[in-house]
Amino acid sequence: MQTRSFKFVYVLLVFSLSGCVSVVHFNQNSKSNENKNIQNYTEEGFASYYSDAFEGKETASGEIFTQTELTAAHRWLPFGTIVKVTNLENGKSILVKINDRGPFVPNRIIDLSKMASQKLGFYNKGIAKVRIEVVE
């Protein structure tokens, strides 16, 4: 009988404390960098492009990914940000829209669609040294 009373008190305690738990929601647009003035933000590093396996899949922003659009993934820039990407090896530049999170490979700063990598002239190479500059 004492064990049954203990279980009842334990269950009652768990239910009464469950109302004291707070839930933290993570917003992918909010990071420690959100206070930066992104209007003047530039970054240099390596770019890569998405595998065909991501075609038709939902991005972190909720958009459907397609290789034929000029889109990109960045770790923290807000969704919808337009960035100018310049291939530092050949001087070619394009504008892309940030609609996903990544890249998740060390030493890479941006993942681009296949179309973007072709326009920048590094599709066959796989990666390129780039500069990204926030446009809007």
The predicted structure's pLDDT at residue 1? 53
Domain count within the chain? 1
- Does any domain span residue 117? yes
In SS3 terms, 87-133 reads as: ECCCCCEEEEEEEECCCCCCCEEEEECHHHHHHHCCCCCCCEEEEEE
Mean pLDDT of 44-66: 95
- Does any domain span residue 32? no
The whole-angstrom distance between residue 110's C-alpha and the CA centroid of its chain comes to 9
What pTM was estimated for this model as a whole?
0.73
Mean pLDDT of 16-43: 51
H/E stretch holding 85 reads strand 82-87
- Does any domain span residue 45? yes
Question: What are 57-81's pLDDT values in tens digits?
Answer: 999 999 999 999 999 999 999 999 9
CATH of the domain at 127: 2.40.40.10
- Does any domain span residue 96? yes
- Does any domain span residue 72? yes
Instruction: Give the largest Cα separation in the chain, rounded.
Output: 81
- Does any domain span residue 118? yes
- Residue 4's pLDDT band, with cuts at 50, 70 and 90, is low
Q: How far, in Å, CA of 96 to CA of 50, rounded?
A: 14
Mean model confidence pLDDT for the chain: 82
Question: What are 85-110's pLDDT values in tens digits?
Answer: 999 999 999 999 999 999 999 999 99
- Does any domain span residue 114? yes
The predicted structure's pLDDT at residue 128? 97
Domain that holds residue 42: 38-134
The predicted structure's pLDDT at residue 92? 98
- Does any domain span residue 78? yes
